Structure 1
Amino acid sequence: MTITAAMVKELRESTGAGMMDAKKALTEVNGDMEAAVDWLRTKGLAKAAKKADRVAAEGLVGVAVAGGKGVAVEVNSETDFVGKNADFQNLVRDITKVALGVGDVAALKGASVNGKTVEAALTDAIATIGENMTLRRMASVEGDSVAAYIHTAAADGLGRIGVLVALKGADNGIGKQIAMHIAATAPVSLSESDMDPTVVERELAVQTAKALEENAASAKPKPEAVIQNNIIPGRMKKFFEESTLLNQKFVINPDITVAQAAKDAGVEVVGFVRMAVGEGIEKEKEDFAAEVAKALQG
């Protein structure tokens, strides 16, 4: 029987198995869909489907550097316990190394790791370890030199927060210091010029409304021109100083900015990545009373 792409798609959607596994299952049972599901279940490859709707917000960030390129990769799991699993750690480390040779997550999923695609390797890990896992994202930087730092490391090159710093010039140790600074301060962007315009607009709207409201409630309100030309620009300047890496006060020496610290060291910061496990993922939470109520209803 001819195995069509539509059949493979249907089996993948119903079981969560990888494309090649789904195709092999259908081939083994001559296209019988129910038998193919059973075949996958016996191989442990359909186990992933039962877990696909569970939130994977833990896991590890891996970092790797080769020459003038650095990559950071986040692989999520359901519990932080899995982050301590040696097999999971080795898989994330291997995936991160593979990421040095690709440009985005889509390419990474299809890239080869240990004789199979990254996507297939994750599916196998789900069946073996028993938790939903996702390759969520990757990011890279390039420069004359790249420094990497892992905060709360679980193993070499793996942890909950990964930082990369790309420098123009030879790194003499300042790169790691700046990376540690980034881990602590979580800057929004490198500089004011490359900050997301929507972030700037939102902050400007907030500061404008706040300044006008405070002025209206003041016993001695200032002229509107002072608010628009002095107060609001002053607050925006402070915002940029606090949220852009180059303008932040260097944590190791708060008397100078990060940009000045880099300059004093003979380098220039040209890019950075700060990646933290689970940031931006909505975790489903249920209070104890609701949990008991659900159990009683069951």
Structure 2
Amino acid sequence: MAITASMVKELRESTGAGMMDAKKALTETDGDMEAAVDWLRTKGLAKAAKKSGRTAAEGLVAVATEGGKGVAVEVNSETDFVGKNSDFQSMVSKIATAAIAVNTVEELKATSVDGKTIEQTVTDAIAIIGENMSVRRMATLNASNVVSYVHNSVAPGMGSIGVLVGFDGDNETFARQVAMHIAAANPAALGEADLDPAMVEKEKSVQMDIARESGKPEAVIEKMIVGRMAKFLAESTLLGQAFVVNPDLTVEKAAEEAGIKITGFVRLEVGEGIEVEKEDFAAEVAKLKG
């Protein structure tokens, strides 16, 4: 039986399977739609697709370095229990290692590991483990030297927060201390020049409104804003923050004393920016009742 585009479209919409998987399923079952659905289910493909609508905000961030390049990758799951699963950890480790050779998530998903693309590897893991998963994002860092740090590590090179620090010089121990600082302090940018101008203007506007509530003259308010913005810029930038190891020094000054220059950083935290819809138990029961 000839497999038409409309048949493939119908099967994709009913199962959420990929185009090539849907076409293969129809070919294998001679165009029998119900049998094609069953074929996809037996392969774990329909099951994975069905779960793809569920929010995956847990998981792991993994880091890897090679020479002057570092990469951090976030692989999400629905629950934190999966992050403790050795099979999931093994998969995430392989994904991070493969990420060293690419620059985007799209390239990473298309990369082959153990004879399968990473995208297919994740799909297979969904079918086996039974939770939605995704390779959400990756970030790379190129520098003369790169060190990594993982916070709340559950296995080598992976945990809840992954940090990379690029630096010039020869003091890896200090650079790793800076990576730990970044994990804790979460700076918005390296220095003032790297801050998002829109964020700075928004903060300035908020501070102006707050200052005007005091009823003080505009000349006084302007001086207040200068001080408040200086504090904001210092607290928002890595180089301007008080160093957690020695709060009497900024990170920039501490780096100078350590004989290195921090040139860049990456910080990824699991679930960062994902909005998770929460329902109470009564609402879930009501939904089940229809």
Q: Aligning the two structures, in what range does the TM-score lie when normalised by the shorter sequence?
A: over 0.9
Question: Residue type matched to 1:165 in 2?
Answer: V
CA distance in 1, matches of 2:99, 2:176: 21
| Alignment CA distance shift 1:7-1:149 (3 Å) | farther
SS in 1 for 2:193: coil
TM-score, reference length from structure 1: 0.91
Partner of 2:76: 76
Q: Which amino acid aligns with 1:55?
A: T
- Which among 218, 227, 247 is matched to residue 221 of structure 2? 227
Match of 2:255 in 1: 262
The letter of the residue matching 2:162 is G
Which structure 1 residue ranges, 5 or more long, are not aligned?
none
The answer to whether the Cα contact below 8 Å between 1:18 and 1:123 also exists between their aligned partners in 2 is no
- Contact 1:144/1:170, CA 8 A, preserved across alignment: no
| 1:7 Cα offset (Å) | 5.3
Secondary structure of 1:249's partner? Answer: coil
Cα distance between partner residues in 2 of 1:9 and 1:146: 47
Partner SS state of residue 155, structure 1:
coil
Is the aligned partner of 1:90 residue 2:126? no
Aligned partner of residue 74 in structure 1, secondary structure = strand
Match of 1:44 in 2: 44
CA–CA distance in structure 1, aligned partners of residues 107 and 8 of structure 2: 21
- Tell me by how many angstroms 1:57 deviates: 0.6
Q: Which residue of 1 aligns with 2:276?
A: 283
Letter in 2 for 1:129: I
- C-alpha contact 1:163 1:274 (8 A) present in aligned 2: yes
Equivalent position of 2:204 in the other structure: 204
Per-residue Cα deviation, 1:29-83 (whole angstroms, up to 9, x for no partner): 2344433222101222210122111111100001000100000000110000000
Q: For residue 264 of structure 2, what is the amino acid of its counterpart? A: G
- Superposed counterparts of 1:234-249, under 5 Å: 234-249=227-242
Q: Give 2:182's aligned residue.
A: 182
Q: Alpha-carbon deviation of 1:16?
A: 3.0
1:99 aligns with 2:99: yes
SS at match of 1:49: helix
Deviations 1:125-176 (A, max 9, x none): 0000000001110001111111100000010111011111111233431111
CA RMSD of aligned residues (A): 1.9
Shift of 1:201: 1.5
Correspondence 1:109-188 to 2 at 5 A: 109-188=109-188
SS of aligned partner of 1:245? coil
8 Å Cα contact 2:147/2:172 also seen in 1: no
Q: Which runs of 5+ in 2 are unaligned?
A: none
